[in-house]
Structure 1
Amino acid sequence: MAMQDWTVQPQEARSGGQGSVAFVVHNKSGAAGALKRMHPETAKEKERRFRFYSEVGALKAMDGHGVPLVIESNEECFSDKCAELYLVMERIEGSNISDFISKHGNIELTDALIIINRVLEIVEEGHRLEIFHRDLKPDNIMLRGDDVSDPVIVDYGMSWNKPAHQEQNYKTPGGKELGNRFLRLPEYAPNGIHRDSRSDLTMLIGILFYLLVGKAPRWLVSELGLAPHDHLDAEMPEKLKNDERWLRLRSVFNIGFQHRIEMRFQTSEELRLKLKQVCADPPEPKGDEFMKELAAFREKIETIEAQRRQALVETMISASSALEISLRTAFEGEGFSVKGFKSNSRSGGTVVVFTIQIGDNKSGRQSGLFEHSMETDFINVQTSYRVDFGPKYDGMLGQTADFENFQRNIISGKEILMAAILRTIAV
């Protein structure tokens, strides 16, 4: 077996990050194949050569389960920099998803779900073998014979193949970003979480979005804080938004496009069940008004904005409690008695309040009832205080995006509040 046994066909070769792929025919048998070779400028890099070795190992382990069969390869020579690495694999006739949509337009929801469920099965098999793809995108998935029921993942060049790493005792250099521009994931940042099955599931949601809309999602959260299906709402086909399954599909996107990985789909079975629910028969009618309110309620609860606001409220309660404890500790350290009520939220969580009252143990005198408030419009946060329900006095103003620094400032500035409380003790 040698690369010279194959003749490259005149069709234009496809180029990717790891190398190029050209159609070939065996000189003797006439068998067709697809030849992958590394780019000359990176062919001698140790990491690139190991990735090639790892990719071939992944394809062999998958053994044609939704991936091209390996016909021949010299991946075992990856440590010899003088050897030109090559892989001849099964030739998949058909279009990749990008080209298919360019030719035929966006895919109907029913067909899109057929594709995604099948790709999910392929990805799940890889996860069972401890192989994470890490680069799922429309260019890497072909439809054999342009058949939506037969997608094939054709590129595993960026995959994490645990058996290959263990076999060669190879450690991938750290400090590098992974992924692609189709959908950037926060965990793929340098020194992030690069070996997690949940990332592949997230990329699958991105592909589902692309199938339906014809646009790459790009980011989980836009510059306006919106998920792709909200940020690109104007690009959504009206036929899709008028489909009775649309709200159930939005639920898939609401979960799948969460910024925090622990809030997305955690297992392939969880995602499969949610996809199944998209096409399930709707529940029995319970009254139009109730169903509208129920759908709006679920939508509100599941959106990333609701999740972000809830997280901010919890952070405000924590910060308010920390300030209350700091004041209590400081006063008790000076010999004062302290009583009060712990932090609680009001007005739907936009205001967090605690009250405190101190007593002078020597004179028996007490301060007025001091109330401290922290209020937010979810962009800025403002503190204020008042005594005995009198007029409010503004405290510190900060941005929610820099809440960590804001919290440090209100704790370090507690002496101003202590002085205000002391002034209320009748002399």
Structure 2
Amino acid sequence: MNSSAAATHPDARKWDENWTAVSSGEGGGQGDVKIVVRKDGSEPGERFLKILRHQNDLSRRQRMYREVASYLTLQHPAIPKLIETNAENFGDQSYKLYLVTEVVKGLTLDKYVESNGPLPLLDAIGFAIALLGIVEHCHQSEVVHRDIKPANIILRELNPGDPVLVDFGLSFNDDEVARDATDLYEEVGNRFLRLPELAPSSPIKRDLRSDVTFCSGVLLYALTGEVPAVLADGHGRLPHQVEIVSERLLSIGDIWRVSQLKRVFDTAFQNALTSRWQSAGELISELQRIETGAIDTPMTRKALLEDVRVLQGSASSKAKQQLLSSLERALQEISAVMSSLEAQRIAPMLRPTQTAYEVRIEERRAKTALCFLMSASSSIDPSIQFRVDAIGTELVISSTYAGALSELHRTPLDSPTFGPAFQEAIEQVFIQQIRDELLSEQR
């Protein structure tokens, strides 16, 4: 257990009946903090003390009790151990509420990044996997944190691989139903990344998927040092598509892993909860795939983002026409590469074949299926499935061939370009398919 009932629910009406302050720290919106030691010396070492800032506010008193309930429910080495609290008495204002936990030595992620810069790529991925593991434990215990941000994550002993999640002041524990669950018209106060489901009037303020989205935002921050703030800015750009963030991701240099992470963020920052990562475990699996460099492993999730819905409401005719033009042009450019290979007579005995062509404006996507065939009697489908998605302010072109998903090109949606790098990427997929077709005929 995190603590015994006697230690957790003392009769102390004020923290200084049992504790002596050693130093003061930087508090948050809910409380003031100090480093303390026990007065009677019955246990050695320093402890972390949080004192409720607005003691006359019943709602805040109930929140501290809810925070304590979360600490009691959660038993994880990366969540601070609760030592003592009087929050059980939140209904009696003669008690000045406080809680005491173990001290976690290290820096919060924001302080660490301010001092040391963004984390190296593999360190950031490992950090995010560890953080999501903590969140998964919370969710399995039916606790939603709702305030995951760099200031609430301590890197123990300055180790990015050992994050500790703190400050459960906004958490909701289904085992301890709060008597003041956040009011329907009150916004949950995470300003690191504002989510529509946590806005005033939203009826879904306790969805587990919000925590997963916060973790995605924290990963982007760890990689770039930039705060995501909103899911889409005034220009429709998702957080990883903003110019300075995109440049910093590009500067990392590991082209394949960064490309795969961009696809993670494409999903993470969708407006609709149903279009985002659906669980911490799902995102952990994808990040582990990227971490290990499993290039040929198809994504177990809806790999081609079937549920992307960036357009909210009906777009104007001009916007739809621009979108249609960009999607169709991308498909035309793919076909042009195929025609170029045919003209070069690389494999004159093969004939170019198209088995699918589709443009869906409302879903902001298009697809085609192309291949080079020796004959029409092939027993398997050798087609390459090309997909074009309009995500935020970008066109994202990908292919699926022989079970492997590959991202081939990203370009601005309103002014797409298809240069030599695009042509080479498309050619490589076709060349692999041509080679496989020729080998199958030899057998």
* TM-score, structure 1 as length reference: 0.65
Q: Deviations along 1:18-75, whole A, 9 cap, x unmatched?
A: 1122111112133310001011xx2111111110001011011112442110111111
What SS is found at the alignment partner of 1:203?
A: helix
Q: Label 1:115 to 1:159 Cα distance change in 2 as closer, same or farther (>3 A).
A: same
Structure 2 residue corresponding to 1:9, chosen from 22, 46, 50: 22
Structure 1 residue 145 corresponds to structure 2 residue 157: yes
Structure 1 residue 260 corresponds to structure 2 residue 272: yes
Residue aligning to 1:403: none
Q: Which amino acid is the alignment partner of residue 308 of structure 1?
A: L
Structure 1 residue 76 corresponds to structure 2 residue 88: yes
What is the number of residues matched between the two proteins? 305
Distance in structure 2 (CA, Å) of the matches to 1:162 and 1:347: 44
> Pairwise mapping of residues 301-316 of structure 1 onto structure 2 (< 5 A)?
307-308=310-311
Asked whether the equivalents of residues 251 and 302 of structure 1 are also in contact (C-alpha less than 8 Å), the reply is no
What SS is found at the alignment partner of 2:34?
A: strand
Unaligned runs of 5+ in 1: 285-297, 317-344, 351-377, 379-427
Structure 1 residue corresponding to 2:173, chosen from 143, 149, 161: 161
Residue aligning to 1:227: 238
Q: Which amino acid is the alignment partner of residue 188 of structure 1?
A: L
Q: Label 1:58 to 1:237 Cα distance change in 2 as closer, same or farther (>3 A).
A: same
Asked whether the equivalents of residues 249 and 258 of structure 2 are also in contact (C-alpha less than 8 Å), the reply is no
Structure 2 residue corresponding to 1:218, chosen from 216, 221, 229: 229
Distance in structure 2 (CA, Å) of the matches to 1:257 and 1:169: 32
Q: Label 1:157 to 1:169 Cα distance change in 2 as closer, same or farther (>3 A).
A: closer
Distance in structure 2 (CA, Å) of the matches to 1:251 and 1:46: 44
What SS is found at the alignment partner of 1:111?
A: helix
Q: Deviations along 1:353-387, whole A, 9 cap, x unmatched?
A: xxxxxxxxxxxxxxxxxxxxxxxxx9xxxxxxxxx
Distance in structure 1 (CA, Å) of the matches to 2:206 and 2:81: 25
Aligned-pair distance for 1:127?
Answer: 0.8
Q: Label 1:206 to 1:304 Cα distance change in 2 as closer, same or farther (>3 A).
A: farther
Structure 1 residue corresponding to 2:47, chosen from 19, 33, 37: 33
The structure richer in helix per residue is 1
Distance in structure 1 (CA, Å) of the matches to 2:126 and 2:218: 12
Structure 1 residue 122 corresponds to structure 2 residue 125: no
Asked whether the equivalents of residues 136 and 281 of structure 2 are also in contact (C-alpha less than 8 Å), the reply is no
What SS is found at the alignment partner of 2:83?
A: strand
Q: Deviations along 1:184-226, whole A, 9 cap, x unmatched?
A: 0011111211010000000000000000000100010010001
Q: Deviations along 1:367-426, whole A, 9 cap, x unmatched?
A: xxxxxxxxxxx9xxxxxxxxxxxxxxxxxxxxxxxxxxxxxxxxxxxxxxxxxxxxxxxx
Distance in structure 1 (CA, Å) of the matches to 2:312 and 2:280: 28
Q: Label 1:144 to 1:349 Cα distance change in 2 as closer, same or farther (>3 A).
A: closer
What SS is found at the alignment partner of 1:142?
A: strand
> Pairwise mapping of residues 265-344 of structure 1 onto structure 2 (< 5 A)?
265-281=277-293, 283=295, 307-308=310-311
* TM-score, structure 2 as length reference: 0.63
Q: Label 1:81 to 1:223 Cα distance change in 2 as closer, same or farther (>3 A).
A: same
Aligned-pair distance for 1:238?
Answer: 4.1
Unaligned runs of 5+ in 2: 1-9, 297-301, 321-356, 363-391, 393-443
Residue aligning to 1:50: 62
Distance in structure 1 (CA, Å) of the matches to 2:47 and 2:264: 38
Residue aligning to 2:192: 182
Larger relative contact order (C-alpha < 8 A, sep ≥ 6)?
A: 2
Asked whether the equivalents of residues 132 and 281 of structure 2 are also in contact (C-alpha less than 8 Å), the reply is no
Aligned-pair distance for 1:125?
Answer: 1.0
Structure 1 residue 199 corresponds to structure 2 residue 210: yes
What SS is found at the alignment partner of 1:253?
A: helix
Q: Label 1:239 to 1:172 Cα distance change in 2 as closer, same or farther (>3 A).
A: closer
Deviates more, 1:258-267 or 1:301-310: 301-310
Distance in structure 2 (CA, Å) of the matches to 1:347 and 1:249: 26
Distance in structure 1 (CA, Å) of the matches to 2:277 and 2:78: 22
* Percent of aligned pairs with the same amino acid: 33
What SS is found at the alignment partner of 1:16?
A: coil
What SS is found at the alignment partner of 2:139?
A: helix
Distance in structure 1 (CA, Å) of the matches to 2:122 and 2:98: 39
